[in-house]
Structure 1
Amino acid sequence: MTINRRRALGLGTVAAAGAMLGSTTIAAAQSEPVDDESVIPTSAALARRRIERVYRRESLRAGGTWSSFISVTDPDGTPVPAVEAEADRVVEAYSVNKIAVAAAVLDKIDRGLLTLDQRVEVTSAIVSKDGDGIFGFDGAYPSSVTLGHAMANLLTVSDNTAVRLCGLVCPAAELNEILRAKGFTHTQVKPVANPNRFFLGKTTPRETHTMLRRLVDGTLLSAASTEYVLTLLRSMSAFTDGVRLELNSAERGRVATKAGWFADGRNEAGVIFDTAGKPMVTYSLFASGEFRGDPAENLNDYSTTHPALRARVALGRKMVDAVSRITASTARTHHQPAYQPSNGG
């Protein structure tokens, strides 16, 4: 076995502790993980410890103010917290709340009030010109699309026109009422004068985490709506600049994620599944404020060069690795359709 310097120092510490305190202490000390991130955790408890350490290091390195909740699923299917950092702080959700918007619309679909194939009108007045998504680049209005088309763009390329299209079928007041009825009192959109328009509003890390856990547990939406959301959030078209950046294609397909950004905020929330489709890590990460580096440069930087995104990239790789040898056999399974690229035709 190859022993690097850090591992050797760790083993030396264990030996010294045993010499002083006896064989019982030796056994206890040897069960503790060595601070070597090349060693893959073999239990949920060790995975939580690894993730907490990496989160603490990377968030400190990035600077800013972080409010987060991360859990790792125990073998019995129970999510146990690894990180609770200001998890009940009410924060600006930005586009992370597009998951909540989708949940409200899909709730109406589950109740038979809407259908994915019904059409919504896309007028020039409703199109957002902010550069997010694809509707703003279309250039051919008026037109119409299905509600399913709007929802797919909402959750993959994070289209803000899609938010407005959802507002046509689920106005702000009704949307908030649906969320409150599901127990989400802080995860609310912000109404404006037009009842069919809204800002994306606020949440807390804990409520966003709860929403994601209820989604994968099958208690938020119907089975069909659940798989619809997870398929979109795990698709190759979904956000890749944060947690998924340093993952290979197969690993990316096991991460359902949604990012949100505006002003100084850089947020991301999602679920990491194992190869069998069991939800193993649920994360809810909200960061804002003054990050390391040039404040003016950071303010207009939404890519992986931003300190908060660099932190999420590092954390994403470590979270996937931390749970690569464990599973939760009793958790609900969610299979992702295999990615099948084509060459047209």
Structure 2
Amino acid sequence: MGKVLAGAGVLLLSMFIVVVMMVGSFGDQQACRPGASAIDPSSVPQGSVQGYEHDQLMNAAIIAKVAADRGLPARAQLVGVMTAMGESSLRNIGYGDDIHGVTNPDGSLTCSLGLFQQQWCLGWGTREQVLDPVYAAGAFFDRLVQIPSWDSMEPTLAINRVQGNSDPYHYAKFESTANEILAALGGVKPGIGGCAGSGEWQSPINVSTPGLHIEDFYGMRSAALFGHAYLHSGLDLAGVPVGTPILAASSGTVDHVSTVDQNDEGMNVRIKHADGSETRYLHLSQTLVREGDKVSAGTPIGALGNTGLSTGAHLHFGVWVDGAPIDPIPFTRARGLDLCTLPIGNDLTVANSCK
């Protein structure tokens, strides 16, 4: 059996090299951005979505309509709705954190109001304007579009750049429900473009590969495994043989390649993407790209292996933003790739973040 697999691996790797030669010269292509759906607030269905009632869904529809009226991509609708969920639970409230004594850096009480909790006394408009959902949504989008590459950033980070709150990941927990709300209102799922480019994301292992499953998640591991607690900084994909093709999850530039297997990460590849994020592919048995190569989503970059500090054949898929690892699940889901559709193994050492 070992010889058969080894022979198959050589054949696969030869085929990979041919493919890489064919596609390695491709440059980054323009991202495909679906336009915002024209959502009519007057046609919001009765009932609730994930606990958000009709009046809250009406406010979500208003935000989505403002984005569409301005010709913004669907991602703006998601970002806008997530923001209002995190600030006011999609309610146009006439008070803010000042009632709890919250102050600005200069010691003055905050003056936050409305869906987006915009401080009217700090340049967001008049008190009456920030309490107008249409005006408030427009003011938010005016500032959002001034952020370079906002539509390629993780939504919660883009929101943080506008709102300036202390926790940049405060809004991440609202992303999944915001998508459900937009779908219920007739919106499109942001991140699905239907063409290759920096806006397209796909699984680093073909999802139709027999046996492929999630072996472990991003998060803290206890000391039981290696004798000390540590952060497991990515998603483990397993259940497929050594030599299985590993693909670039999105277009970008290869900024690191290691062909040495005597280290914790084993043979590995790192790719820098247009939005500043980086994807990492660890424990490979073979690398097929060089530093500086331009790759497109789906380009073969290596083969699955068991090198480095690894207890079995698998791919450790990591996503890094601003020099730190983050959970790949919400990051890729926001870009149209839901890895939670894969089967999940039974011997997890980290909590399931698909739930």
Q: TM-score range by the shorter chain?
A: under 0.3
TM-score by length of 1: 0.23
Larger helix fraction of residues: 1
TM-score by length of 2: 0.22
Q: Using CA pairs below 8 Å that are at least 6 residues apart, which structure has the higher relative contact order?
A: 1
